[in-house]
Structure 1
Amino acid sequence: MNVRTILTNIVSFVTPKMHATRQKALSDCVHSLANGSAATVTSIGRGINSGAYEKHSIKRADRLLSNPHLLREQSLIYGAICRLFCTAKHPTISIDWSDLDECKRHFLLRASLSFDGRAITLYEEVHPLSTKEKPAAHKLFLRRLSLLLPAGCKPVIVTDAGFKTPWFRQIEALGWYFVGRVRKPCFYTTDNGGHWQCISQLYATASQRPKLYQAKIARNTPFACTLTLYKQKAKGRHALNADGSVKSSKTSQSNARANSDPWLLASNLPKTSHHGKNVVAIYRQRMQIEESFRDMKSTQFGLGFEQNYTIKLNRLSILVLLTNLASLALILLGVGVTVAKKHWQFQANTQREKRVLSFHTLGLRAIAKRLKLTAKQWRDTLKHCIHLLDTTSYSII
């Protein structure tokens, strides 16, 4: 099987009930993105493999972004992805916001499933500034996500410090679990409200061994949870100027102080042996969603979404969907290349103990080199994906 056939099969699998002509247009645009076209209308159109003039291919991509039927079918596509990958009872799902343009007009709210080094996007919404980080938007997003997930699925939702206690309450109301970072300014109490202190009082006791506290946070509306305090070993990284000296600007120093703070993680996970280590391991996976944002936006490393200047929300939603399908296909291709033991040929070094390149990058290189996988290798790839999904889910509950 060549990679183009595999890409077509992946798109067909998550769009089984779509009109054939619309499905073909969607598949061709995803092929264009996966082949290196930037996530803009003109670039996608020029990259479509067709005998038509480029002008007509660009118009074809333009019509797809404005297609009202595809806009309505987005939830069906995301639902198919959720059913395909959320096979565990307690999958680890990271949720975060990201800017879609430098003008701060539109923002992306995304839910991604933890995988091996790269997250798989399950559901996402484009929001204007007026609904960004609003409790009502969060509540509606969680409700829609719950309708897409398989019955009986109780995920562990992982978020950064931008999501506060109202978010935790919404997750508990659904019967789900959460792991979220708590940062200053926030107060906590360990004696049922008798004495409230700033969480910074805990920082001095942080170490590489996680510490657990049964506590309440949010002094005005107390919320009971388990706090896990952890400080990882310093990596010795420094932001440098062009001449190699360490940056000393106010912004750089502020970022350095923020990144030196220990992790204080709130959760409602059931107590187990090694509970602290489990919570820290779950929160570590949150970085995967940040890397998926880079894979979507970066021209150098990803699909070049940063080049587009679309301002209409509906068109942005479909463009984001196209990049999501392309990323999904690239990740699965990258897994296939690894299973087939062909990933070594794309490395710049001789490292053999572990995989050096991400699945996303391996997928891009496989398409560029028109790599072929046998039917058996592709079946082994799907089995390996199931194994990876099982190992990244929280199965101790």
Structure 2
Amino acid sequence: MAIALCNGADLTLTSLGRSLPGRAHVKNKIKRVDRALGNTAIHHELPLIQQMLTRSITSLMPFCVIAVDWSGWHDKNWHLLRASLVCNGRSLPLMSEVVPAWLAQNSQVQCAFLDRLHAAIPDGKPVTIITDAGFRTDWFRHISQLGWCFTGRVRGLVCFQLEGSTRWMKISDLQAESTSIKVGYGVLARKPRVPCYGSFYLQKRPSAGRHGKGRRSKTEKEHRSSAQEPWLLFSNVEGLEPHQIMTLYSRRMQIEQNFRDEKSPRFGYGLRLSRSQGWGRLAVLSVVAAMASLVMWLTGYMAEKKQLHRHYQANSEKGRRILSYLRLAGEVLRDRPGIVRRMNIVNMLKKLGNEYSNMVMGC
């Protein structure tokens, strides 16, 4: 099914079936996909499949910067919790969990997901988890207990206290500037029985310069408010300057682009067109999308290394990337469908590991 998705199919049952390779009738291919999506044996093996996929990727990296986030999945009844390896342009999906909407943002679900992720990554591998403002104190504390580092955003009415002070502060009490600064070391949130300690960093991000229509939806207003509010980051990462912490957190947007790649009918795999229902079927689709994204990313990465991307640009720009790895992979696969069969995935992951530090921390 991942092959069909790489060849241009949508992330829906019938589209995957129609695009499967082989000489069987289309009707039989569609039934084959239907049986695979509903196969309970596959459902039980999904955690093992994701664990093997995660280990095969992370074992070749010198360290791992992993973005974790929630997203609505398929429709309003289901949500997806995903961990993706931050890279260049797009992150690589590692592990996902589909849950009912009423369990979204649940602390126990998040901590259990962290434990699964920890079991999949080789022991001793340095890991930094990046999250947005939806993750709170118990999340950061659990990451610290696993021996990992974290960087997350503090927003709204969440209070913090700096070391040596008795005053509890909010982000509105701080004066942010365009230059990133370290506010100090302290504790996050008043109520937790077990305090969570880390350093606070502040910066006023420049405006993106977007001007839309006057009438906006509730979600758009929330995103607009988030973009206008200064970045107050809470982190236990050591040895980095404030601007490097900001650079690290800015990579979190890659996982948002991953969600768009999978759900958008225009720009991605078109999950929104799917009518599949039930936890098992949606979980299988999420793993298929992760596998296809890995193959497409590595194909685009390899094509750029071979300077093939210049043949697919609409201009002669050489100073920056014009086509994303996924878009470039789609263009190359249409012209050279056999390129994936000739690609050595392990060798490409090794090359990625050699360049990983510059990809993540390069400004």
TM-score (norm. length: structure 2): 0.91
- Aligned-partner Cα distance in 2 for 1:49–1:218: 55
Q: 1:292 aligns with which of 250, 254, 258?
A: 258
For residue 90 of structure 2, give the secondary structure of its aligned residue in structure 1: coil
- Residues 60-209 of structure 1 correspond to what in structure 2 (within 5 A)? 60-86=32-58, 87-88=60-61, 90-102=63-75, 104-192=76-164, 194-202=166-174, 204-209=175-180
**C-alpha distance after superposition, 1:18-47 (max 9, x if no partner):** xxxxxxxxxxx1111111111111110011
- Aligned-partner Cα distance in 2 for 1:80–1:250: 41
Alpha-carbon contact 2:176-2:230 (below 8 Å) kept: no
**C-alpha distance after superposition, 1:36-69 (max 9, x if no partner):** 1111111100111222211110000001111223
Name the residue aligned to 1:7.
Answer: none
For residue 88 of structure 2, give the secondary structure of its aligned residue in structure 1: coil
Name the residue aligned to 2:245.
Answer: 279
**C-alpha distance after superposition, 1:354-374 (max 9, x if no partner):** 221111111111112225559
- Aligned-partner Cα distance in 1 for 2:355–2:180: 27
- Aligned-partner Cα distance in 1 for 2:299–2:352: 11
**C-alpha distance after superposition, 1:267-301 (max 9, x if no partner):** 1112x2x5212211110110110111111111111
Alpha-carbon contact 2:201-2:233 (below 8 Å) kept: yes
Alpha-carbon contact 2:300-2:326 (below 8 Å) kept: yes
Letter of the structure 2 residue corresponding to residue 389 of structure 1: Y
Q: 2:354 aligns with which of 384, 387, 395?
A: 387
Structure 1 residues 89, 336: CA separation in 2 closer, same or farther (over 3 Å shift)? closer
- Aligned-partner Cα distance in 2 for 1:326–1:42: 17
Letter of the structure 1 residue corresponding to residue 311 of structure 2: Q
Letter of the structure 2 residue corresponding to residue 297 of structure 1: K
Name the residue aligned to 2:227.
Answer: 259
Greater fraction strand: 2
Alpha-carbon contact 1:91-1:393 (below 8 Å) kept: no
- Residues 197-346 of structure 1 correspond to what in structure 2 (within 5 A)? 197-202=169-174, 204-221=175-192, 222-239=195-212, 241=213, 247-249=214-216, 251=218, 255-270=223-238, 272=239, 274-346=240-312
Letter of the structure 1 residue corresponding to residue 89 of structure 2: G
- Aligned-partner Cα distance in 2 for 1:374–1:128: 36
- Residues 7-18 of structure 1 correspond to what in structure 2 (within 5 A)? none
- Aligned-partner Cα distance in 2 for 1:198–1:118: 33
- Note the C-alpha offset of 1:304: 0.9
How many aligned residue pairs are there? 357
- Note the C-alpha offset of 1:388: 3.0
Letter of the structure 2 residue corresponding to residue 230 of structure 1: Q
For residue 259 of structure 1, give the secondary structure of its aligned residue in structure 2: helix
**C-alpha distance after superposition, 1:211-259 (max 9, x if no partner):** 33212221222432100001222221222x4xxxxx2547455543331
- Note the C-alpha offset of 1:89: 5.0
Letter of the structure 1 residue corresponding to residue 21 of structure 2: N
For residue 199 of structure 2, give the secondary structure of its aligned residue in structure 1: strand
Query: Where do 5+ consecutive residues of structure 1 fail to align?
Result: 1-28, 242-246
Alpha-carbon contact 1:336-1:373 (below 8 Å) kept: no
Structure 1 residues 145, 255: CA separation in 2 closer, same or farther (over 3 Å shift)? closer
Structure 1 residues 377, 70: CA separation in 2 closer, same or farther (over 3 Å shift)? closer
- Note the C-alpha offset of 1:319: 1.0
Alpha-carbon contact 2:177-2:204 (below 8 Å) kept: yes
Letter of the structure 2 residue corresponding to residue 210 of structure 1: I
- Note the C-alpha offset of 1:199: 1.9
- Aligned-partner Cα distance in 2 for 1:45–1:162: 37
Alpha-carbon contact 2:185-2:200 (below 8 Å) kept: yes
Letter of the structure 1 residue corresponding to residue 71 of structure 2: S
- Note the C-alpha offset of 1:114: 0.7
- Aligned-partner Cα distance in 2 for 1:340–1:378: 14
| C-alpha RMSD over aligned residues | 2.3
**C-alpha distance after superposition, 1:149-206 (max 9, x if no partner):** 112123100000000111111111111110000001111222556111222111x233
Structure 1 residues 71, 232: CA separation in 2 closer, same or farther (over 3 Å shift)? same
Alpha-carbon contact 1:41-1:61 (below 8 Å) kept: yes
Asked if 1:349 corresponds to 2:315, the answer is yes
Larger displacement relative to structure 2 (49-58 or 218-227): 218-227
For residue 201 of structure 2, give the secondary structure of its aligned residue in structure 1: strand
Alpha-carbon contact 2:186-2:200 (below 8 Å) kept: yes
Alpha-carbon contact 2:176-2:203 (below 8 Å) kept: no
Alpha-carbon contact 1:180-1:265 (below 8 Å) kept: yes
| % identical aligned pairs | 33
- Aligned-partner Cα distance in 2 for 1:67–1:256: 42
Name the residue aligned to 1:11.
Answer: none
Name the residue aligned to 1:20.
Answer: none
- Note the C-alpha offset of 1:74: 1.9
Alpha-carbon contact 1:211-1:230 (below 8 Å) kept: no
Name the residue aligned to 2:18.
Answer: 46
